[in-house]
Amino acid sequence: MNETATFKYDKKMHIYTLEILNKENEFNIYVDKKLVRTGSLFTHLKPSINPGLEIDDPSDVKPSDWVDDAKIDDPDAKKPDDWNDDEPKLIPDTTAVKPTNWHDDEPDEVPDPKATKPSDWEEESDGEWLPPSIPNPKCAQGNCGTWNPPMIKNPNYKGKWKPNKIDNPLYKGVWKPRKIKNENYFVDNHPSNIAPMTGLAIEVWTTNGGIFFDNFVITRNIQDAFAVADQTWKLKVAAAEISDQNSINENQEEEEEINNNFLIKFLTKYQINPWVVLAAILTVVLVIILVTPESIVERYRYTNRAHEYWY
């Protein structure tokens, strides 16, 4: 076709229908039973159903001295003396003045003056205590560090000089091979008269995977084709919509369950492996058991038949 039909790219099931109108030698294309394109079998197909009376001569080649360039650089053009290719597009604004509240030597962070050393801090075991750093309040407006004036457009910037173009006196036009008589020329005035079909083949040229076809129908009545669509495609679409909605509901329920579970939220937020947490808990319990005096253990243990329970 000279014009591509409207296709859907939403990864959903759709039905495509081609209707050929025999008397008019025209065609209609439907997507999901809706008309999206019409055309003529004579003028809207490429290659044409009826071949041309003449064809390009396959043995003809372009001469080596053929000139295809319609325009060339003006050989008499000269770059102006005041043209500077190296001029930058932007330059610092020489009229800009550094703000009075600008601090060149102020760091971005400073020690927190409100922080105090913990009372249990031991220099020998904990090392030298240093207060935590906080953003420098003097730099709250981004006014610290090396000051640079803003950039403005360079009034002297012209870009790289290029000579202007002129008509090429040697230009011969766009080369085309000569035409010869088409030995396979014929005229079909009724291309809609299709011979009886005994098979069906599909050729798909695509780089996208996950494309499936089913339920092909060939009939002389488009309403019969639409009736089959209602019995197959329409039911599948309805089932797919229910399945998609169920998936959405399940995802929402899973998200709500995760949001309601504090532990899962905590582990997810800090990207902590739950097995690591479990191992840490078991280690703590084991340590408590090992260091607890026997007299204390005896007070919280009792035996019930063959099973021994622990608090």
> What mean pLDDT do residues 258-271 have?
57
**Which H or E run includes 308?**
strand 307-310
Nearest alpha-carbon partner for 212 in 18, 17, 35, 14: 14
pLDDT digits (tens, 9 = 90+) for 68-87: 999 999 999 999 999 999 99
> What mean pLDDT do residues 90-104 have?
93
- Per-residue pLDDT at 92: 95
- Per-residue pLDDT at 200: 87
pTM confidence score: 0.47
Judged by DSSP in three states, 108 sits in coil
Number of residues written out for the chain: 311
Residue 266's φ and ψ, nearest 5 degrees, are -65, -45
Is the pLDDT at 44 greater than 60? The verdict is: yes
> What mean pLDDT do residues 303-309 have?
40
Q: Which two tokens stand for residue 224?
A: 């019969």
pLDDT digits (tens, 9 = 90+) for 191-221: 888 888 888 888 888 777 777 888 889 888 9
CB 254 within 8 A of CB 248: no
Task: Report the C-alpha gap between 281 and 269 in whole angstroms.
Answer: 19
- Per-residue pLDDT at 246: 83
Is the pLDDT at 160 greater than 90? The verdict is: yes
Is the pLDDT at 63 greater than 90? The verdict is: yes
Q: Which residues of 48-59 are buried (b: 16+ CB within 10 A; e: fewer)?
A: eeeeeeeeeeee
CB 113 within 8 A of CB 203: no
Helices 262-269 and 233-260: crossing angle, nearest 10°?
90
Nearest alpha-carbon partner for 5 in 17, 13, 22, 21: 17
Higher pLDDT residue, 286 or 227?
227
> What mean pLDDT do residues 29-33 have?
92
Q: How confident is the model at residue 275 (pLDDT cuts 50, 70, 90)?
A: low
> What mean pLDDT do residues 5-25 have?
84
CB 266 within 8 A of CB 272: yes
Is the pLDDT at 267 greater than 70? The verdict is: no
- Per-residue pLDDT at 17: 92
Higher pLDDT residue, 27 or 303?
27
- Per-residue pLDDT at 272: 53
Beta strands in 93-203 (DSSP E): 109-111, 133-135, 151-153, 165-167, 179-181
Report DSSP letters for 206-231, one per residue. -S------------S-HHHHHHHHHH
| Mean pLDDT of the chain, nearest integer | 83
Task: Report the C-alpha gap between 153 and 119 in whole angstroms.
Answer: 60
- Per-residue pLDDT at 302: 42
Dihedral sign, Cα of residue 71, residue 72, residue 74, residue 75: negative
Is the pLDDT at 311 greater than 50? The verdict is: no
- Per-residue pLDDT at 303: 42
Q: Which two tokens stand for residue 62?
A: 């372009």
Identity of the amino acid at 267: L
- Per-residue pLDDT at 10: 80
CB 82 within 8 A of CB 209: no
Task: Report the C-alpha gap between 149 and 97 in whole angstroms.
Answer: 7
Is the pLDDT at 33 greater than 80? The verdict is: yes
Task: Report the C-alpha gap between 169 and 45 in whole angstroms.
Answer: 39
CB 301 within 8 A of CB 289: no
